[in-house]
Amino acid sequence: METSHSQPGAVVLFDGVCNLCNASVRWFMERDRKGRLRFASLQSAAGRRALEAAGAPPDLPDSIVVVRDGKVLTRSDAVLAAVGLLGFPWALLAGLGVLPRGLRDRLYDFVAARRYLWFGKQTVCALPTGELRGRFLEDGDAQEPIIAGAAAGPVGGGVGAWVLRLVIAYFVLYFFPFPLQFVPYVNKVADLWTDAKYAVVPWVGKAAFGVEITNFPGGSGDTLYNYVELAVFAAAALLASVVWTLLAKGRGVSPRTRDTVTTWLRYALGATMLSYGFAKVIPTQMPAPGPDRFIETVGDLSPMGLLWLFVGSSTPYQVFAGLGELVGGLLLLFRRTTLLGAIVVTGVMTNVVAFNFMYDVPVKLYSSHLLLTAIFLLAPHAARLAAVLVLNLPAQPVVLRPFPIRRVWARWTRGIVKAVVVLALTIGTAWESYSYAVGPGGPLGPAKPWHGVYRVESFSLDGVEGGALADDQRWVRVGLNSIGIGAIQKADGTARRSGMVLSLPGEDGSIAAFLKITRRGEPKPITLDAAAPEPGVITLAGDYEGKRLAARLRRIDDFKPLLTSRGFNWVQEFPFNR
């Protein structure tokens, strides 16, 4: 192998106690196949002699310096010079030297000033071992440098502080009025906030975008209203961040402000994750498929319907998915586990956002904001995570500053309030999901006597019997689900799923007997007279789509769909893929 003695090379001087610098040296060594680079720590005698021989000024940066052809290169010039000696393809990166030096050096200084905080440092210089010794000017006579710890000063400055203020202002607008809507006597604030938005957003939509908003959120989070609302929030946050920055007069965002916003956001995100988690652990969000789904064909399903059927068909999988949301939400409620909670929620919500976009679930905006919130909580630790997971370096611990509460009674009160809030968010949310699940019409509640799939024994429209009707008019099967949903399958194979509520005499104290069919987009429900002349038989009569309907339905008691009857099997000689 050729060495630096046979080819023009350079000496790379680095901060021997900096974890990032040591990792960079290892990176260079692995890619310097021709041995053009030699190394020494800035703290070593060899490093000092190399600087003296090159006539280096005393105010050199303390991170990476390159001595090449008697010249001393610092900051971004030093990095590009070292990369340029690595050979193809890495030498191509030296082309970044065409960028203005001021821009390159600003980026370099930004990372260098934070390298100890992000990647940590060693107490003494690392000594090279084995074959690496030959790449160093000297084995190392390290001396321990004097390094001041990072002060707990303001976060960011200049453009960085403004961007941080913009993000904070936007999140405050988006998640407000949390948690006031849960607090008695002040929860009216949530109603006032909603009323204000319902007045401002439509006006902005018409004035700024020329759109008429007539539908307000109620089952979809991706309405036209929601998109205009985001534009309003973004504009208001931009204005607030500019005013805030001007009032700050060049100061950065204080750590206390960052801590307060972080605490509020992790509780807001944690409460949301608990809500979604319990809705899956106690499977209510995606109920198990019932008679209404059994008579639909796959082609009748929307992408969202297919996703709901996929998850709802496996209660263990739905519980597993919910546990991920629950664990992430619970970890976010405590400062010491916030980073772990943010990691869990980022992974969970990345999957949820992918589902929402790829299966056209109208919660794209909301789920994306939850994911961005988790990333915001994760962002301050990104460099530390990269040090551990990518560079295999130790990371500096984060000092959790206690809130400035000096009085003992105040600290006890804070602890009690926190315990009450955590218990309310967990137990309260769990009880709400459980009560709905086992209550009337809930997916885990007792099934109604009429719950099931029915075969249509006779059917007529305006006196015309079923055989004489077109296939797209004649009913062949009906599925009635206790949770208030049903489906009608016609002779042409299509099935339409709608809201369906059947009431029979004596059921829940009812005297009237009817089947009410509610279809989205239609102003009035269809109400048919119903009767149960014998167990398992239902007769229907009334006006249906402008014609007089008469039908007799008989329940298929031995109906066992493969989707729910197949079950789990350890041993399978052949794949059961149908």
Residues 6+ apart with CB under 8 A from 410: none
Residue 486 has what pLDDT?
93
pLDDT tens across 309-328, in order? 999 999 999 999 999 999 99
The number of beta carbons lying within 10 Å of the beta carbon of residue 243 is 12
Taking the alpha carbons of 7, 13, 16, 21 in that order, is the dihedral positive or negative? negative
Question: What are the DSSP calls for 194-254, one per residue?
Answer: HHHHHHHHHHHHHHHH--------SS-S-SHHHHHHHHHHHHHHHHHHHHHHHHHTT--B-
Taking the alpha carbons of 215, 216, 219, 220 in that order, is the dihedral positive or negative? positive
Is 429 strand, coil or helix?
helix
Helices 255-281 and 338-358 cross at an angle (nearest 10°) of 60
The pairing of strands 71-74 and 37-41 is: unpaired
Q: Which residues are paired to 274 by β-bridges?
A: none
Q: Which residue has the higher pLDDT, 515 or 167?
A: 167
Is 121 strand, coil or helix?
strand
CA 495 to chain centre: 35
Q: With 90 as the cut, is the pLDDT of residue 304 above it?
A: yes
Q: Which two tokens stand for residue 125?
A: 């210089």
The dihedral over CA atoms of 90, 91, 93, 98, expressed in degrees to the nearest 10, equals 180
pLDDT tens across 49-62, in order? 777 777 777 667 66
Which phi-psi region, left, alpha or beta, contains residue 392 (left: φ > 0; alpha: ψ -120 to 50)?
A: left
Helix then strand then coil, % of the chain, to nearest 5: 50, 15, 35
Residue ranges of E strands in 75-201: none
Q: With 90 as the cut, is the pLDDT of residue 200 above it?
A: yes
CA 86 to chain centre: 40
Q: Which residue has the higher pLDDT, 121 or 221?
A: 221
Residues 6+ apart with CB under 8 A from 386: 118
Q: With 70 as the cut, is the pLDDT of residue 215 above it?
A: yes
Task: Identify whether 154 is preceded by a cis peptide bond (ω within 30 of 0).
Answer: no
Three-state SS sequence of 322-388: HHHHHHHHHHHCCHHHHHHHHHHHHHHHHHHHHHHHHCCCCCHHHHHHHHHHHHHHHHHHHHHHHHH
Q: What pTM does this model have?
A: 0.76
- 399: nearest Cα among 380, 416, 382: 380
Residue 23 has what pLDDT?
79
Q: Which two tokens stand for residue 390?
A: 């990518």
Confidence of residue 112 (pLDDT cuts 50, 70, 90): confident
Residue 512 has what pLDDT?
58
Confidence of residue 202 (pLDDT cuts 50, 70, 90): very high
Phi, psi for residue 314 in degrees, rounded to 5: -125, 100
- 165: nearest Cα among 88, 254, 91: 254
pLDDT tens across 346-376, in order? 999 999 999 999 999 999 999 999 999 999 9
- 161: nearest Cα among 218, 232, 41, 242: 242
What is the average per-residue pLDDT within 327-331? 96
Q: Which two tokens stand for residue 429?
A: 């949310």
- Tally of helices (H runs) and strands (E runs) in the chain: 18, 13
Q: With 50 as the cut, is the pLDDT of residue 6 above it?
A: no
Q: Are 76 and 107 in contact (CB under 8 A)?
A: yes
Q: With 80 as the cut, is the pLDDT of residue 398 above it?
A: no
According to DSSP, residue 153 is labeled -
CA 192 to chain centre: 29
User: In terms of residues, how long is the chain?
Assistant: 578
Confidence of residue 143 (pLDDT cuts 50, 70, 90): very low
Q: How far apart are CA 44 and CA 12, in angstroms?
A: 13
Q: Which residues are paired to 121 by β-bridges?
A: 18
Q: With 60 as the cut, is the pLDDT of residue 138 above it?
A: no
pLDDT tens across 241-270, in order? 999 999 988 888 888 888 889 999 999 999
Q: Which helix (H) or strand (E) holds 415?
A: helix 408-423
Listed range (91-100, 185-194, 233-242, 332-341) with the worst mean pLDDT: 91-100
Q: With 60 as the cut, is the pLDDT of residue 10 above it?
A: yes
Q: With 60 as the cut, is the pLDDT of residue 154 above it?
A: no
Q: Which helix (H) or strand (E) holds 461?
A: strand 452-461
% of the chain at pLDDT higher than 90: 41
Determine whether domain 452-562 maps to CATH 2.40.160. no
Mean of per-residue pLDDT scores for the chain: 84
Q: With 90 as the cut, is the pLDDT of residue 553 above it?
A: yes
Q: With 50 as the cut, is the pLDDT of residue 140 above it?
A: no
Residue 85 has what pLDDT?
84
Q: With 70 as the cut, is the pLDDT of residue 146 above it?
A: no
Listed range (206-215, 339-348, 444-453, 537-546) with the worst mean pLDDT: 444-453
Q: Which residue has the higher pLDDT, 401 or 259?
A: 259
Q: Are 515 and 540 in contact (CB under 8 A)?
A: yes
Q: Which residue has the higher pLDDT, 188 or 512?
A: 188
Q: Are 459 and 475 in contact (CB under 8 A)?
A: yes
Whose tokens are 């009237």? That residue is 512
Per-position b or e across 455-489, b if 16+ CB within 10 A of its CB: ebeebbbeeeebeebeeebbbbbbbbbbbbbbbbb
Q: With 80 as the cut, is the pLDDT of residue 343 above it?
A: yes
Burial of residue 332 (CB within 10 Å: 0-12, 13-18, 19+) is buried
What is the average per-residue pLDDT within 533-551? 92
What is the biggest distance separating any 2 CA atoms in the chain, rounded to whole angstroms?
Answer: 109
Confidence of residue 308 (pLDDT cuts 50, 70, 90): very high
Q: How far apart are CA 54 and CA 68, in angstroms?
A: 9
Q: Are 429 and 365 in contact (CB under 8 A)?
A: no
What is the average per-residue pLDDT within 467-480? 92
Most confident segment among 185-189, 438-442, 567-571: 567-571
Q: How far apart are CA 427 and CA 441, in angstroms?
A: 22
